Structure 1
Amino acid sequence: MAATALTIPPAMERPHFVGIGGAGMSGIAKILARRGARVAGSDARDSATAAALRALGASVHVGHAAANLAADTTCVVVSSAIREDNPELAAARERGIEVIHRSAALAALMEGARTIAIAGTHGKTTTTSMLAVALRSLGLEPSYAIGGDLDVPGSNAEHGTGDLFVAEADESDRSFHRYTPEVAVVLNAELDHHANYASMEEIYESFETFAATLRPGGTLIVNADQSGARELTGRLRRRAAATGRGPALVTYGTGPDADVRILRVVSHGLTSEVTVRLDGAELTFPVSVPGRHYAHNAVAALAAGVAAGVPADGLAPALARYTGVARRLEPKGEADGVRVLDSYAHHPTEMTADLEAVRDAAGDGGRVLVVFQPHLFSRTRELGIEMGRALALADASVVLDIYPAREDPIPGVTSELITDAARAAGADVRAEHSKAAVPGVVAGMAKPGDLVLTMGAGDVTELGPEILAHLAN
Structure 2
Amino acid sequence: MRIAFPDEVPPAEQLGTVHFVGVGGAGLSAIARIMAQRGVRVQGSDARESAVIEALRAEGITCFVGQDAAHLDGVDTVVASTAVREDNPEIIAARRRGLRLWPRSAGLASLMTPPITTVAVAGTHGKTTTTGMLTCALVGAGADPSFAIGAEVPALGTNARAGADPVFLVEADESDGAFLHYAPAGAIVTNVDADHLDMWGSVEAYEQAFDDFVATVGRFLVLNAEDPGAKRMAERARAAGLQVVTVGFDPGAADIAGTDLRVEGPTTQLQVVMDGETYQLDLLVPGRHYALDALLALAAGRALGYPVAPLVAGLGTYRGAARRMEYKGEAGGVRVYDSYAHHPTELAADLAAARALAGESRLVAVFQPHLVSRTRIFGSQMGRALSVADDVAVLDIYVAREDPDPQVTARLVVDAVDGPPARAIGAVAAAPAALAASVRPGDVVVTLGAGDVTDVGPALLSLLETGGE
Asked if TM exceeds 0.5, the reply is yes
Matched, 1:55 2:58: yes
**Alignment match, 1:4:** none
In the alignment, which of 438, 441, 445 is matched to residue 452 of structure 1?
Answer: 445
- What SS does the corresponding residue of 2:24 show, helix, strand or coil? coil
Matched, 1:174 2:167: no
**Alignment match, 2:278:** 282
Alpha-carbon deviations, 1:442-466, whole Å to 9, x = none?
Answer: 2232222221101110000001111
Tell me which moved more, 56-65 or 170-179.
56-65
Contiguous gaps of at least 5 residues in structure 1: 1-6
Give the superposition deviation at 1:411. 4.1
Q: Distance in 1 between matches of 2:51 and 2:11?
A: 25
Give the superposition deviation at 1:153. 11
**Alignment match, 2:381:** 386
Give the superposition deviation at 1:376. 0.3
**Alignment match, 1:77:** 79
In the alignment, which of 104, 125, 136 is matched to residue 139 of structure 2?
Answer: 136
Q: Distance in 2 between matches of 1:348 and 1:80?
A: 23
**Alignment match, 1:257:** 253
For the 8 Å contact 1:345–1:351, the answer to whether it is kept is yes
Aligned ranges 1:80-159 → 2 under 5 Å: 80-111=82-113, 112-151=115-154, 155-159=158-162
Cα 1:59–1:199 shift into 2, 3 Å: same
Cα 1:465–1:394 shift into 2, 3 Å: same
Matched, 1:399 2:394: yes
Matched, 1:273 2:269: yes
**Alignment match, 2:293:** 297
- What SS does the corresponding residue of 1:220 show, helix, strand or coil? strand
Q: Distance in 2 between matches of 1:285 and 1:152?
A: 17
Give the superposition deviation at 1:231. 2.8
For the 8 Å contact 2:141–2:307, the answer to whether it is kept is no
- Cα RMSD, aligned residues only: 1.7
Cα 1:315–1:45 shift into 2, 3 Å: same
TM-score, normalised with respect to structure 1: 0.93
In the alignment, which of 349, 361, 367 is matched to residue 366 of structure 1?
Answer: 361
Structure 1 vs Structure 2: percent identity of aligned residues? Answer: 50
Give the superposition deviation at 1:369. 0.4
Where has structure 1 moved over 6 Å in runs of 4 or more?
Answer: none
**Alignment match, 1:44:** 47
Q: Distance in 2 between matches of 1:307 and 1:30?
A: 27
- What SS does the corresponding residue of 2:423 show, helix, strand or coil? strand
- What SS does the corresponding residue of 1:323 show, helix, strand or coil? coil
Matched, 1:219 2:241: no
Q: Distance in 2 between matches of 1:236 and 1:118?
A: 16
Q: Distance in 2 between matches of 1:176 and 1:302?
A: 22
Matched, 1:427 2:420: yes
Q: Distance in 2 between matches of 1:345 and 1:410?
A: 22
Q: What code does the residue aligned with 2:402 have?
A: E
Cα 1:103–1:110 shift into 2, 3 Å: same
For the 8 Å contact 2:372–2:402, the answer to whether it is kept is yes
Q: Distance in 1 between matches of 2:456 and 2:163?
A: 35
Contiguous gaps of at least 5 residues in structure 2: 1-9
For the 8 Å contact 1:8–1:35, the answer to whether it is kept is no
**Alignment match, 2:4:** none
- What SS does the corresponding residue of 2:403 show, helix, strand or coil? coil
For the 8 Å contact 1:8–1:37, the answer to whether it is kept is no
Equivalent residues, number: 455
Cα 1:348–1:311 shift into 2, 3 Å: same
TM-score, normalised with respect to structure 2: 0.94
Q: Distance in 2 between matches of 1:213 and 1:295?
A: 27
For the 8 Å contact 2:152–2:321, the answer to whether it is kept is yes
Q: Distance in 2 between matches of 1:445 and 1:290?
A: 27
**Alignment match, 2:208:** 205
Q: Distance in 1 between matches of 2:332 and 2:343?
A: 31
For the 8 Å contact 2:36–2:61, the answer to whether it is kept is yes
Matched, 1:351 2:347: yes
Give the superposition deviation at 1:269. 0.6
- What SS does the corresponding residue of 1:148 show, helix, strand or coil? strand
Cα 1:118–1:137 shift into 2, 3 Å: same
Q: Distance in 2 between matches of 1:299 and 1:105?
A: 30
Q: What code does the residue aligned with 2:86 have?
A: E
Q: Distance in 2 between matches of 1:15 and 1:435?
A: 34
Q: Distance in 1 between matches of 2:92 and 2:315?
A: 45
